[in-house]
Structure 1
């Protein structure tokens, strides 16, 4: 490391003066900059500081995108900005660069408190924003922090008071605003909402209102998303009155027409399939695209979990991953990292990664379930074809959901229709039924997936597209491998909205809201439930059963069935002492040893015999002797013996011939693989110079036993035998030279006793 040079007072004053002049010049450049006349193409053409430019160049950000060219100059001048651009157009840098420049020009330090707040609707997007911020802000003296759910709260509380730029999700930010003592929001300069339309919807309404209520109204606010909300009530909540709009959902062209909000390099298509055939289409699609990087979007986490577990057991030939909001944060982070680095992989995911996440080189985006609206469709397909690269998308619609194509057409999005080749389509329904029959856990997941999908259709707002009454529930249940459609208890819409609000609200605030009328918080130590209490409180986790309440003796809900499958007839199992036999300890030592020894106690009871039960439930010994009359009816003993031996001989001969044929086939296959490997190795040697030193590696034949046998044979060929020192040499001169080279004496193998004696004397000399 370079040694830091200490400056005297005069030098420090000159450095401060140069810094003041540089900041004044930077302010002047910002004021005089006109994006219409400047026509900037690179970041160096913008009026930004050298520290930010250096960080951008080191992170390989050189060229400007359209949204960056239009929004950054307005943000630098202090305007409130509402920006909308296509997915993958670089909106993250469009608000991170103004944050760094604003705090740098204000000479922000750790003693000034929080200067900028960035709110993201999902944890994964917040992590991505924080990573980009740390890359481009390495040469600034500002401090940044990331606060999301699933992380250590105490660790964040100890450091959040010294943070200048805070990136996080709404729930965790509100929790720190309530608990962190040193978090001061009164001096906030900038508020940024990434994916603003998602942050402003009903799920985050109360949380976001609570956050904004604690922020100063004089701040600068930036809103960015691929699909923007123009609701006046939403803008009023954010104190946006005089703002600049940059980009729209439909970008105008020179002819006056409009272009879709999806990238031009994205090839969009759709197929029409029955609901019961969707999993067959998905499995067939994966099998025919084994060398691609695929994201499969589903409507619920239960469906993602079921598809991942079942497809993993069926082994389609490609790496499988799954990602949804019910996973632990560590698992979600690891899956994101592995999927980003992989090249041939299929990811089953919910809409938790549909917005803003930058996955490199995604080939296909497949939507197994129809999205709730066009905005969700745009965000989903935006995971591919980012930054001008090519990509493809496919949406699978049922005949009832074809109306969704009209919704897309209204937004100038017209995907191409594809037809499924029946020869390439493979039905996996028998395999799913077999898996569910063998594993009760998979059956439980299938039932949960069925229920969650039906409920997701029920709560959709667009009833023309999502027709709940026309769902083929029985056929869909059969396609999941279930014997029939499970019963579903659907709550009302009010309770569903209430559960959504509770899900997105802070648990700490829920606990505080349960205070008594006198203002004191109730003693909740009595209501604390450990993990063991929750474990014992679960009801029949492996297999769903309607008769659990009957078994446990609790009051069950009224059923429409005529007879219960399992009922408890008797509940008073108290035994009277008079009915119990008298138990007394044997008096003698011999009797006590006999009572305590299992072997001695069995000696008086005879040999134990095993029994088997026939179809009627009658017990029979395992080796039951045949009656004499039945034996006589079948003929004499010699005839029966001869027939039995002939039958067994025929069976053994057939088995022997089958084993020989199998062994012969294995030998031929082994020989063929060995010859094929030798041919490939020779071709690889010949083509080393021709194909730019391309190397080929062969990892076995696919059969572990064959590989081990081959390796043993190859090792035996390479290793010297146990009699290796007694090798027959054709030339004494050659052997002498080799002896001198390696210090090893090679002698002929003795054939007679005289040869052995002469060899012994020679070795002794």
Structure 2
């Protein structure tokens, strides 16, 4: 028996690539330990002026250097060191002071210190109130984080929800808006935020106000309590209720301009113009004509006003490119408008408060506020679109005489210095006549003007500060005429106020008002111009058929009701009338005599038996309305999947209904029961979806292991996982395309171009597939050779058919 060879217990030298990996891993661990030591040793009292002086990772430092960020601003000098130590922050600074970098750098460093990888799930969540601001934050994140291996995603409204769901679970950093984020947390089963490390709220006072209160409260319920929270805004909130909602732990208030003389940038020149409401558009037109070589933003209170001013000025052509931006536009159009205005040197942008917060438009010369802002904080954010990063800028606020005193008082309390300027009357141009002509010729423009008028009046009506916004003192008729309208459109809540005053007036006041009206109609003969006669025409509804949709009165309903009543009457009146009791058919009693031969009885389905003894009663059978009175109470039915009717409930008496409680109590009880059922089913559905995802992942990994084993054993055979499959690289730079209109999610990689990532290739077919394809080619050639022979007899035809089968 041959002796077995003895194997040596000593292992050979490790391959060279394994030594390189171990050395690289060891070097990374040493760098990480050194970085942690430097972060803990930060001296908060020592001044730090440059980014190179901060203890940052190599990837972050390289991204900042390549993006040309070298010097720290005031908010960055105070905020970044505190955030690196892990404390919660309430950051407040003027607009254009660099708050975005003040929270993006700590976000990246937080994940680096936690040794976060692309497989660890969501680690950082950044929320902003508007989509445009979220896109801007995401762009800055891509620049400074280009050398990191983290994956980042942009989740905003107006995009495909399903495609976002497929990629959401692979993201480490998400920039989002509150509404869209809450939708994913409620509906996406595979999306988990249990390991969230840091939460950032940009423009925190706007996110935490009444407009987002319910959404943010529901969103915070999904997030873990143990996390770091950073709040940044130009007008920071200090309310205890807001801080309690966010579960902040010993937050540090960082304000670099709290002791400053003014709350706005130092190089911003601020003025206001006192002008009446009907003259606002004339003043704006004259201003644009005099500043055609400038970059201007004009803020209005509603999107309908933005649309009307943009369309009317576009027809008038002031000599400067015009653009408009509001929340009712599609996302692709909003992005296109932003990029156009950013790259333009001379342009005018009409916008709502969508563009009032956080957006960085370069080299804006003027900010005009055609409509008074709702408060001083909104004014500060609006004027912050100019004079950014120590540059110069100018802002003009249009005020009405009744708004002047109260608004200036509010601005003074917020440390906003503002001076009055006068308009040169000899250089002011009037466009009222042109607007009247355009509205008369173009019914669509007239309709836009009516909507703009109603939107402005409603925006004034809902304002809380009635000392500034007093609707009773505004000349609404003159304002409607300045828009080119023949008269002020009727508005429901205004009509109700005047009706209440008329109702409460005394008889003497009503009599005097009637006499004054009659005197004005008989004696008041004012000079009528061509435009007066034009607007007094009776066919105005032909030009704008949708005007009646804006007026909510009951005249049309009353007229339709009268027409229905008249249509029910007979065209020919009967010669004789019967008694009222004889008009209603009487049911035939059970013990009555049989009907005469010329009469008949009709048994109603589910009702009594009728005796038909005249043509009038025979005609009665055709009236569903009158027969319904004899049928008794009906039953509400529902239909199952087979189409069979089933009763859903039975009608009951009012006394039995009241025994179980009031209608409100029963309604609340029913809603609670159904909500509990839905919640239970929803939890089950989420668990089922999550379980299916886990099973799919396990099967995929098992296939991968089997394919790897086959490759090792078979000597290089390629195995396919479920056919040709192309994996998605979540870190590819081409996922984000701002002008993409198909609604795909903007996903970007923060990787370097030379970073080693798993490249995806389309798998080749295996050997069996190749053999099958070669056999098919051979059979095809055989068929061709068979078809080349002409069949001559019946046997040849049968042989040819058999070959095809």
User: Which TM bucket (shorter chain)?
Assistant: 0.5 to 0.7
Show structure 1 runs of 5+ residues with no match: 1-5, 253-257, 494-538, 559-563, 577-765
Other-structure match for 2:299? 297
Mapped partners of 2:348, 2:468: distance in 1: 28
SS in 2 for 1:396: strand
Measure, in 2, the Cα distance between the counterparts of 1:569 and 1:550: 20
| 2:782 counterpart residue number | none
Confirm or deny: 8 A CA contact 1:320 1:345 kept in the other structure: yes
Distance 2:178 2:198 in 1: 16
Alignment match, 1:190: 198
- Residue 398 of structure 1 aligns with which residue? 400
Match of 1:180 among 160, 183, 188: 188
User: Which secondary structure state, in structure 2, belongs to the residue aligned with residue 316 of structure 1?
Assistant: coil
Q: Distance in 1 between matches of 2:149 and 2:494?
A: 53
Whether contact under 8 Å (1:443, 1:543) holds in the other structure is no
- 2:89 is aligned to 81
Say whether the 8 Å CA contact 1:195–1:226 is kept in structure 2: yes
User: In structure 2, how many angstroms separate the alpha carbons of the residues matched to 1:295 and 1:148?
Assistant: 24
Indicate how the Cα distance of structure 1 residues 330 and 541 shifts in structure 2: closer, same or farther if over 3 A, else same. farther
Give the deviation of 1:212 after TM superposition: 0.6
* CA distance 1:388–1:574, change in 2 (3 Å): farther
Matched, 1:545 2:552: no
| Structure-1 residue corresponding to 2:258 | 251
- The equivalent position to 1:425 in structure 2, one of 423, 428, 432, is 428
Matching of residue 343 in structure 1 with residue 350 in structure 2:
no
| Aligned partner of 1:59 among 60, 64, 67 | 67
Q: Deviations over 1:68-90 (max 9, x none)?
A: 11000000000000100000001
> Quick check: 1:124 aligned with 2:151?
no
Describe the SS at the equivalent of 2:423: coil
CA distance, structure 1, for counterparts of residue 20 and residue 549 of structure 2? 83
Residue in structure 2 matched with residue 591 of structure 1 by the alignment: none
Tell me, in whole angstroms, the C-alpha distance in 1 between the residues paired with 2:559 and 2:242.
Answer: 46
Residues 437, 443 of structure 1: 8 Å contact kept: yes
Q: How many angstroms does 1:111 deviate by?
A: 2.0
The answer (yes or no) to whether the contact 1:269–1:418 under 8 Å persists in 2 is yes
Question: What residue is the counterpart of 1:408 in the other structure?
Answer: 411
In 1, Cα distance between equivalents of 2:490 and 2:317: 31
Aligned equivalent of 1:101: 109
Normalising by structure 2, we get a TM-score of 0.61
Kept in 2: contact 1:308–1:321 (CA 8 A): yes
Q: Please tell me whether residue 19 in structure 1 is matched to residue 28 in structure 2.
A: yes
- Following the alignment from structure 1 to structure 2, what is the Cα–Cα distance between the partners of residues 32 and 225? 28
* CA distances 1:402-451 after superposition (whole Å, capped 9, x unpaired): 12011111122121110000111001000000000001111111111111
Deviation of 1:62 after TM superposition, in Å, equals 1.4
Checking the alignment, whether the CA contact within 8 Å between 1:549 and 1:555 is kept in structure 2 is no
**Equivalent residue, structure 2, for 1:241:** 249
Counterpart of 2:442 (choices 428, 439, 443) is 439
**Hey, what does 1:487 align to over in structure 2?**
490
C-alpha displacement at 1:35, in angstroms? 3.3
Residue 284 of structure 2 is aligned to residue 282 of structure 1:
yes
Rounded Cα–Cα distance in structure 1 between residues aligned with 2:173 and 2:468 = 43
Deviations 1:581-614 (A, max 9, x none): xxxxxxxxxxxxxxxxxxxxxxxxxxxxxxxxxx
Query: What is the root-mean-square deviation of aligned Cα atoms in Å?
Result: 2.7
- Rounded to whole Å, the distance in 2 between the matches of 1:293 and 1:568 is 60
How many residue pairs are counted as aligned between the two chains? Answer: 512
Inter-CA distance 141–315: structure 2 relative to 1 (3 Å threshold)? same
Post-superposition CA distance 1:711-742 (Å, at most 9, x none) = xxxxxxxxxxxxxxxxxxxxxxxxxxxxxxxx
Post-superposition Cα deviations, 1:479-507, rounded to whole Å, max 9, x if no partner, equal 111111111123999xxxxxxxxxxxxxx
- 1:540 and 1:188 map into 2 onto residues whose CA distance is 58
- More contact order relative to length (CA 8 Å, sep ≥ 6): 2
Please give the secondary structure, in 1, of the residue aligned with 2:388: coil
Q: Is the 8 A contact 1:478 1:484 kept in 2?
A: yes
2:455 is matched with 452
Q: Is the 8 A contact 1:455 1:490 kept in 2?
A: no
Question: Structure 2 vs 1, CA of residues 546 and 371 (structure 1 numbering), >3 Å: closer, same or farther?
Answer: closer
- Aligned to 1:449, the other structure's residue is in SS state helix
Residue 313 of structure 2 is aligned with which of 311, 325, 329?
311
Q: CA deviation at 1:110?
A: 2.3
Compute the displacement of 1:181 (Å).
2.4
Instruction: Name 2:40's counterpart in structure 1.
Output: 31
Does the Cα contact within 8 Å between 1:71 and 1:94 map onto a contact in 2? yes
Structure-1 separation of matches of 2:364 and 2:314: 21
Deviation at 1:543, TM superposition (A): 3.5
- C-alpha contact (below 8 Å) 1:33/1:73 kept by paired residues: yes
Structure-1 residue corresponding to 2:386: 384
Report the CA distance between 1:547 and its aligned residue. 11
- The residue number in structure 1 matching 2:168 is 160
Greater Cα offset, 369-378 or 464-473: 464-473
* Structure 1 residues 308-332: Cα deviation after superposition (integer angstroms, max 9, x where no partner): 0000000000100000001111110
Q: Following the alignment from structure 1 to structure 2, what is the Cα–Cα distance between the partners of residues 132 and 43?
A: 16
Give the structure 2 partner of residue 151 of structure 1: 159
1:287-320 Cα deviation digits (max 9, x unpaired)? 0000000000000001000000000000000100
Taking structure 1 as the reference length, the TM-score comes to 0.64
Contact 2:323 2:347 in 1 (8 A): yes
Q: Residues 146 and 574 from structure 1, CA distance in 2 versus in 1: closer, same or farther, beyond 3 angstroms?
A: farther
Q: Secondary structure of the residue that 1:433 maps to in structure 2?
A: helix
Moved more, 379-388 or 148-157: 148-157
Please give the residue correspondences for 1:466-615 in structure 2 after superposition, counting only pairs within 5 Å: 466-490=469-493, 542-545=545-548, 554-555=557-558
Alpha-carbon distance, 1:469 to partner: 1.4
Mind listing any 5+ residue stretches in structure 2 that lack a counterpart?
1-14, 497-541, 573-805
Q: Is the 8 A contact 1:191 1:221 kept in 2?
A: yes
Residue 366 of structure 1 deviates from its aligned partner by 0.3
SS in 1 for 2:350: strand
Match of 2:734 in 1: none
> 1:33 & 1:444 partners in 2: Cα distance?
63
Give, in angstroms, the shift of residue 36 of structure 1.
2.0
Residue 218 in structure 1 maps to residue 221 in structure 2: no
CA, structure 1 residues 440+95, in 2 after alignment: closer, same or farther (shift >3 Å)?
same
Distance (whole Å) between structure 2 residues aligned to residue 204 and residue 192 of structure 1: 16
Q: Secondary structure at the match of 2:396?
A: strand
Deviation at 1:8, TM superposition (A): 2.0
From the superposition, tell whether residues 33 and 550 of structure 1 become closer, same or farther in structure 2 (CA, over 3 Å). closer
Contact in 1 for aligned 2:492/2:552 (Cα 8 Å)? no
From 260, 263, 288, give the equivalent of 1:261: 263
> Contact conserved, 1:197 with 1:227, CA < 8 A, in 2?
yes
Cα deviations across residues 454-500 of structure 1 (Å, max 9, x unaligned)?
A: 1111111111111121111111111111111111123999xxxxxxx
Q: Distance in 2 between matches of 1:139 and 1:542?
A: 60
